[in-house]
Amino acid sequence: MRRPHATDADLTLLWAARFGNSPESKLRGKVVWITGASSGIGEELSYQLAALGARLVLSARRENELERVKRTCLGRFSLKDEDILVLPLDLLDRGSHQEKTAAALKHFGDIDVLINNGGRTQRSLCTEADVDVYQALMELNYLGTVSITKQVLPHMIRRGSGIIATISSVSGFVGVPLATGYAASKHAVQGFFNSLRTELTDYPNITISTICPGPVISSIVQNAFTEELSKPVATAGDQTHKMSTERCVQLTLVGLANRVKEMWIAEQPFLLFCYLWQYSPTLAWYLTNILGKKRVQNFKAGLDADSAYFSKPKVKTT
């Protein structure tokens, strides 16, 4: 793993990492429900939380992969079999979410932290993408997340405490070419949770936390929607330039331990863009148009969309 930079998160999160509560002091023994736990950020969340001594509910569609994650947790860390519940879950099957929540509560009695991590991204131009792709992104990333949240939230309100954390993206508040549907779904997610946070001011011990990573090494690119629902991504490309999954999760857990409401987690220059979009949108648009044009050119040439920001477009050779 590359050495982490001192400027790979927003100032509030970096302050918390240096001076705030440690994740171990706040998350040990807590019941944490993770959606999308079978790979990528969700899988790494499972490992780091298990190392802290948290009790886990692992959810995703692929039960065999969840069992693999559970075995790894039990083999590496001091947890018992009953400390990890494998709970297969389809975010699109909203009718099952009440039953799944009841199963988690029956097993552990409480849900201290919900981490909404499940979802998919997109790699396609708007002019080429079917509307069905946009519907699928909203159904999964937005409505699936809202549905699970609405099942867990009443439990947290009754007990007067809890954390609902959602893995969004920097594309939840900036524009990203080749991901118009994905960015729209993440904008929707952030609008929902920003509004919900204000509705819960009478419950100061319930924290709504939104995590906004930039490019992170993950399987999310391999599983991205393209211009058609059934068409897979041709190649995920080289991902070594991205932030490590381990570092992203480490910072996420620091933020949760310190009840940070919104986290920006990204290496440069992506973190700089977050600040520009907030404080200097005219300059941000100018730079985004330049780099976005290069991103689209490289995508059309068959190169990885994320790694191609500063490279010249070249035709892919076999």
Q: Any idea which residues carry the catalytic annotation?
A: 182
Burial of 105 (0-12, 13-18, 19+ CB in 10 A): middle
Phi-psi region of 136 (alpha: psi -120 to 50; beta: other; left: phi over 0): alpha
Contacts of 142 (CB under 8 A, 6+ apart): 185, 188, 189, 192
The torsion defined by the Cα of 217, 223, 224 and 230, in degrees rounded to 10, comes to 170
Q: Long-range contacts made by residues 13-17, C-beta under 8 angstroms, separation at least 24?
A: 13/251, 13/254, 13/255, 13/260, 13/263, 13/264, 13/265, 16/254, 16/255, 16/257, 16/258, 16/260, 17/251, 17/254
d(CA 179, CA 192): 20
Contacts of 7 (CB under 8 A, 6+ apart): 14, 268, 271
Neighbours of 269 (CB within 10 A): 13
Buried b (16+ CB within 10 A) or exposed e, 182-217: bbbbbbbbbebbeebbeebeeeeebbbbbbbbbbbb
* Tokens 């929540």, residue located: 101
